[in-house]
Chains A and B, each alone.
Chain A
Amino acid sequence: GQNIDQPTEMTATEGAIVQINCTYQTSGFNGLFWYQQHAGEAPTFLSYNVLDGLEEKGRFSSFLSRSKGYSYLLLKELQMKDSASYLCAVRDSNYQLIWGAGTKLIIKP
């Protein structure tokens, strides 16, 4: 079967750095996405990785290792507004998106 694993919940302090991990087992791989979702709102696109390595975009970076079936989302200089769920999704060999359950990130002052 296909599976995406992420921690259910993480807590971090305002101004700090947090890393959210995602491991996957899918039938094929055609890219990995990270989305942010605030409570009661729609998911919004954060990043896309298809090749190994680090993609940096402002305070957010995303890393991919295809051989390990592993990705992480790194958030720097955390702000209270970063409190949200972070969803990892993998596009499989049929170009379908397989979604993780999301990681709820709680930022404390």
Chain B
Amino acid sequence: DTGVSQDPRHKITKRGQNVTFRCDPISEHNRLYWYRQTLGQGPEFLTYFQNEAQLEKSRLLSDRFSAERPKGSFSTLEIQRTEQGDSAMYLCASSLVTGDGRNEKLFFGSGTQLSVL
């Protein structure tokens, strides 16, 4: 399978625990995005990487959230001291950007559904 893969598909945790999600993008893609989505809403931008560099992080994002892409390939998203409000689908997307990126097209993974009890 050459699509974007995310692991795990589902995660149930207790409030206060730390969780980590993994995303493997399409191999030749240089950009990787993390989004959060709740029921009936569009994806909410969290952060993105160009190769291994984290270029932007949402100003609304708590400092409990951190993401890495150490070798410019897979990425991890960690949430520390989880809260019930963190319950959501966490989506990863990747893209290949050339030039000014005007026609950049995102390919999404199936997401990790997080439930914080």
| Residue positions of A touching B, CB distance < 8 A | 4, 8, 30-31, 33, 40-45, 48, 50, 87, 89, 91, 95-97, 99-102, 104
Inter-chain contact B109/A102, CB cutoff 8 Å: no
Which residues of the other chain, B, contact A50 by a CB distance below 8 angstroms? Answer: 102-103
Instruction: Please report whether the interface of chain B is mostly helix, strand, loop or mixed according to DSSP.
Output: loop
How many residues of chain B are within 8 Å of chain A by beta carbon?
A: 22
Instruction: Please report whether the interface of chain A is mostly helix, strand, loop or mixed according to DSSP.
Output: loop
| Residue positions of B touching A, CB distance < 8 A | 4, 40-45, 56, 91, 100-111, 113
Complex Cα distance, B105 from A33, in Å, reads: 9
Contact of A45 among B43, B105, B111 (CB under 8 A): B105
Contact of A48 among B45, B105, B109 (CB under 8 A): B105
Inter-chain contact B42/A30, CB cutoff 8 Å: no
Closest to A96 in B: B45
Inter-chain contact B40/A101, CB cutoff 8 Å: yes
Closest to B4 in A: A42
Inter-chain contact A95/B101, CB cutoff 8 Å: yes
Inter-chain contact A43/B108, CB cutoff 8 Å: yes
